[in-house]
C-alpha cells in the first residue's frame, strides 16, 4: 500500500516512516523542512516532496494513488503560536483542511494528528476524549480546529478519518538546542553540555510522557488498517510524571547531579496532563509502552552518540 506522511522528515515522522517501510508500505513524505531535516530520512527508500501542506498542488501531487495519509505536518510550539497566531493557524488549521479536501476527492483514508494541548486547563484527570476542551494558546486552538475539520469531513462526506491526540512524545530524532524545543530534549541537551536545566515554574507540573516508538507503531497500524473512529482518540499510556521526576531519572542515567534553575511559568502552558486510555486500548489492543526510565535511557544514548546538537540540520525559525 502507498502511505503519505506529511511532516515525515520531522521527529515523529522519521519514526513512522521507518515503521511503515518495515511493514512493506510505499512511503511518500511531504515536508517543507521548516522543522524537519533531510538527514532524518537518510538512506531510506522514500520519495520526498518538498513543500507545504498549505500548497494544494503539492498535496495533490504527493497523494495521487495513496491508500492512506498520516497528517503530522504542523507549525509546532505554544510559544511560536503566541508570537504569530496567524502563521500557526495557516499551517495547522488551513493546512489540515487542504489535506482533508484532497483526500476526500481521492477517497483516501486520513489520520489527523492532534495534541493533548486542546484540553487546556481544568477538567478531570485523566482526560477523557469527551471531556471539555479549553485551549490556552493559539497552537492548541489550531489543533482543535484541525480535529473539527477532520471529523466534519467524516460526518459530511463519509471520509474515513482517525483524529488522534498525542501527549508529550519524546525520543530519538527530536530536535534540541533551539528556542522552541520540547522539554525532554531541552533537558538532555543541557545535561550533556553541562549547563543548568531551566524549569519554568516549580517543576511539579505533570505530563503523560510517551515514547515515540510506541506512537509510531500505532500510527503505522492505523494507516495500514485504514482505521477510523467518530471521535478523537488519546494516544498515550495514562502515566503522570512531574518534571522534577524526569530530572531525577536523568541524574540516575548520567550518574551525576544536575543543576536546576527555576524560571517564571510560561504563558499558555497547561499545568497537568494525563490521558484516559480506554478508547486507545480498544482500538490498539496490542499496543505496548516502555517505562519512562527505559525510554529516557534510549533517548540519552541517542543524543550522546551524536553530540548535543543532533540532529545535524537545525530547524529554521521564522
pLDDT tens track for 142-154: 999 999 999 999 9
- Considering the domain architecture, whether residues 101 and 188 belong to the same structural domain is answered as no
- Considering the domain architecture, whether residues 247 and 149 belong to the same structural domain is answered as no
Average pLDDT of the chain?
94
- What is the domain-level CATH number for residue 264? 3.90.25.10
Gap between the Cα atoms of 295 and 286, Å rounded: 19
Per DSSP, 315 falls in state P
Q: Is residue 279 part of a domain?
A: no
- Where b means 16+ CB within 10 Å and e means fewer, 175-209 reads bbbbebbbbbbbbbbbbbeeeebebeeeeebbbbb
Domain that holds residue 298: 170-207+239-274+290-306
- Considering the domain architecture, whether residues 137 and 99 belong to the same structural domain is answered as yes
**What number of other Cβ atoms are within 10 A of residue 106's Cβ?**
14
Annotated active-site residue in 119, 139, 153, 211: 139
pLDDT digits (tens, 9 = 90+) for 97-119: 999 999 999 999 999 999 999 99
**Domain count across the chain:** 2
pLDDT of 312 over the 80 cut:
no
Mean pLDDT value of segment 149-174? 97
Q: Is 139 a catalytic residue?
A: yes
- Considering the domain architecture, whether residues 83 and 226 belong to the same structural domain is answered as yes
Residue 316: predicted pLDDT: 38
Amino acid at each position: 500500500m502507498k502511505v503519505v506522511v506529511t511532516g515525515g522528515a520531522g521527529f515523529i515522522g522519521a519514526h513512522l516512516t521507518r515503521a511503515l517501510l518495515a511493514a512493506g508500505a510505499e512511503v511518500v513524505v511531504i515536508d517543507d523542512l521548516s522543522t524537519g531535516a533531510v538527514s532524518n530520512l537518510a538512506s531510506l527508500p522514500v520519495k520526498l516532496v518538498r513543500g507545504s501542506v498549505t500548497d494544494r498542488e503539492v498535496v495533490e501531487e504527493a497523494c495521487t494513488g495513496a491508500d492512506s495519509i498520516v497528517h503530522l505536518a504542523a507549525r509546532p510550539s505554544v510559544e511560536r503560536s503566541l508570537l504569530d497566531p496567524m502563521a500557526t493557524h495557516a499551517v495547522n488549521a488551513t493546512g489540515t483542511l487542504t489535506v482533508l479536501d484532497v483526500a476526500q476527492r481521492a477517497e483516501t483514508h486520513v489520520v489527523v494528528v492532534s495534541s493533548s494541548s486542546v484540553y487546556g486547563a481544568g477538567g478531570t484527570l485523566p482526560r477523557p476524549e469527551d471531556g471539555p476542551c479549553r485551549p490556552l494558546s493559539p497552537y492548541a486552538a489550531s489543533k482543535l480546529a484541525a480535529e473539527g475539520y477532520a471529523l466534519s469531513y467524516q460526518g459530511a462526506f463519509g471520509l474515513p478519518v482517525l483524529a488522534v491526540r498525542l501527549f508529550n512524545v519524546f525520543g530519538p530524532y527530536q530536535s534540541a538546542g533551539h528556542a522552541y524545543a520540547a522539554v525532554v530534549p531541552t533537558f538532555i541537551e543541557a545535561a550533556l553540555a553541562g549547563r543548568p536545566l531551566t524549569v519554568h515554574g516549580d517543576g511539579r507540573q505533570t505530563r503523560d510522557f510517551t515514547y515515540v516508538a510506541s506512537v509510531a507503531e500505532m500510527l503505522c497500524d492505523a494507516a495500514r488498517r485504514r482505521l477510523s473512529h467518530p471521535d478523537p482518540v488519546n494516544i498515550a499510556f495514562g502515566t503522570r510524571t512531574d518534571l522534577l521526576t524526569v530530572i531525577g531519572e536523568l541524574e540516575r542515567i548520567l550518574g551525576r547531579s544536575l543543576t536546576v534553575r527555576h524560571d517564571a511559568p510560561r504563558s499558555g502552558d497547561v499545568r497537568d496532563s494525563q490521558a484516559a486510555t480506554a478508547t486507545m486500548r480498544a482500538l490498539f489492543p496490542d499496543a505496548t509502552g516502555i517505562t519512562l526510565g527505559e525510554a529516557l535511557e534510549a533517548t540519552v544514548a541517542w543524543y550522546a552518540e551524536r553530540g548535543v546538537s543532533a540532529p545535524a540540520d537545525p530547524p529554521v525559525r521564522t
